[in-house]
Amino acid sequence: MKDLQACLRTARVMPVLTVHSSDEALAVVAALQAGGIAAVEITLRTPAALAAIAEVRAAFPDFMVAAGTVRTVQDMQAVAAAGVDFAVSPGFTPALSAAAQALDLAFLPGVCSPSEILQAAECGHRVFKLFPAEAVGGIALLKALASPFADVRFCPTGGIGLHNFRDYLALPNVLCIGGSWMVDPALIKAGDWAGITRLSRECLQPAGH
């Protein structure tokens, strides 16, 4: 099982990608890698997702690939078979946690409240996707959670973009952020791989550059 904290700390910025073909996924990941991005979350929101994950894993063995929108035990089994580094869910259930453990697959469950954090912590989790981050309180919520959950770390996703992602990354309990501005569907549709690379490079530069 991958060390999830280490994966997210290395990535810092994780594009959340919805793809419609394996070729599209390969082109986008090549553009992301050219811009210095180290990880991608490919969501299970299209029929092409699982095949795309497997193709990207084969073509980019050193690139971290997560599967997103994992909602059922069957999803968890399918993404494990596709070879993902870790699974990401918009929420948490004990069944999903048990399935990931049985598959020896790192799992980033989604939470948005103290009660969900407590329930997931009882199953051994210490790293969470805060989702939908901006809608549930964003930076203010993360600051409020820092003291009672000093041993917990987050990858906030949802409503995060160029305008605020550095503010999230500045928080001590944030390892990584998820966002989709650098993989905007309009850029993908236009085949603007250079644009994706440019946005990727920009989001890894210090503020003011």
- pLDDT tens digit string along 138-160? 999 999 999 999 999 999 999 99
Is residue 158 in some structural domain?
yes
**Within a domain: 87:** yes
Residue 202 designated active-site: no
Q: pTM of the entire structure?
A: 0.96
Instruction: Tell me the percentage of the chain whose pLDDT exceeds 70.
Output: 99
Give the active site residue among 129, 143, 189, 202. 129
Output the pLDDT for position 197. Answer: 98
Domain tally, the chain? 1
With the CA atoms of 5, 10, 14 and 17 taken in that order, what torsion angle do they form, in degrees rounded to the nearest 10? -100
Residue 174 forms part of a structural domain: yes
Is residue 198's pLDDT more than 80?
A: yes
Residue 140, judged by CB atoms within 10 A of its CB (0-12, 13-18, 19+), counts as exposed
- pLDDT score for 96: 98
List the catalytic residue out of 24, 41, 55, 134: 41
Tell me what pLDDT residue 209 has: 56
For this structure, is 2 an active site residue? Answer: no
Residue-wise pLDDT for 7-40, tens only, equals: 999 999 999 999 999 999 999 999 999 999 999 9
* Domain residue limits at 40: 4-202
Secondary structure, 3-state, 155-209: CCECCCCCCCHHHHHCCCCECCEEECHHHCHHHHHHCCHHHHHHHHHHHCCCCCC
Residue 99 lies in a domain: yes
Does residue 167 contact residue 2 with C-beta atoms inside 8 Å? no
Task: Note whether residue 14 is domain-resident.
Answer: yes
Q: Would the pLDDT of 135 be above 70?
A: yes
- Any domain includes 209: no
Is 94 inside a domain boundary?
Answer: yes
Contact 9, 34 (CB under 8 A): no
pLDDT of 2 > 90? The answer is no
Residue 207 is assigned to a structural domain of this protein? no
Which CATH number is 26's domain given? Answer: 3.20.20.70
